[in-house]
Amino acid sequence: MDFFSSENLDSLNKIYRINLVNSITGYKSANLIGSISNKGAENLAIFSSITHLGSNPALLSLFVRPNVVPRNTYKNIKEKKVFTVNHISKEKIDDAHHTSAKYDENISEFDKTNFQPEYKENWGAPFVKDSAVQLGCKYVDEYYIKENGCSMIVASIEIIFIRKGLLQNDGWVDLSKGDIITINGLDAYALPETVKRLKYARPK
């Protein structure tokens, strides 16, 4: 097997280490965060750190990188207290990846890609039109991670839109029916296949 110790990691080339450490924890969710500033500047950015935090109340979390450069998504979330989470489908991978480019806050990624903003249910942030799963989220709290300067944002899921055909009778959402992709590392996009669903596990 290939082997690394923490001493090895420290001596690795920067890009190699980024690729290695970003991929070893497994496949991650792929989402576009839609937000808007107080001045009305829309923003769209890909995030792979959005995770389910709890179902009652319905919460999710995401990690924002250190504020050493302008972070438009973070700034907008703090200003407006609302944002959207939108799933990415197979045919939108290139545009989704492009939203990670560092654009000035006055330039909207909606104008630099084929994604279109969609406003509905009076939600104060743009959804991504035609995304199979769209969540309207509200900022709840923030936890600074002193070890690396990142921040964990906790948000409540306030409104949910799911494309017809994905929602199953028991509430489970079959993401594979929307060709929704996942991320391996920082630049490899994969299309998962459901192998099976199992019953709630109980001790034998």
Ligand X SMILES: Cc1cc2nc3c(=O)[nH]c(=O)nc-3n(C[C@H](O)[C@H](O)[C@H](O)COP(=O)(O)O)c2cc1C
Residues that bind ligand X (CB under 6 A): 43, 45-49, 63-65, 71-73, 97, 100, 102, 183, 186
Cβ–Cβ contacts within 10 Å for residue 43, how many? 25
Closer residue to ligand X, CB minimum distance, 15 or 195: 15
Closer residue to ligand X, CB minimum distance, 81 or 167: 81
Query: In three state form, how does the secondary structure of 6-64 look?
Result: HHHHHHCCHHHHHHHHHHCCCCEECEEEEEECCCCCEEEEEECCCEEEEECCEEEEEEE
Q: How far is the CB of 27 from ligand X (least distance, A)?
A: 12
79: left (phi over 0), alpha (psi -120 to 50) or beta: alpha
Cα 27 from Cα 47, distance rounded (Å): 13
Q: How far is the CB of 50 from ligand X (least distance, A)?
A: 7
Q: How far is the CB of 79 from ligand X (least distance, A)?
A: 12
Cα 183 from Cα 90, distance rounded (Å): 11
Do residues 132 and 180 make contact, with C-beta atoms less than 8 angstroms apart?
yes
Closer residue to ligand X, CB minimum distance, 81 or 97: 97
Q: How far is the CB of 63 from ligand X (least distance, A)?
A: 5
Closer residue to ligand X, CB minimum distance, 77 or 132: 77
Q: How far is the CB of 106 from ligand X (least distance, A)?
A: 11
Closer residue to ligand X, CB minimum distance, 114 or 168: 114
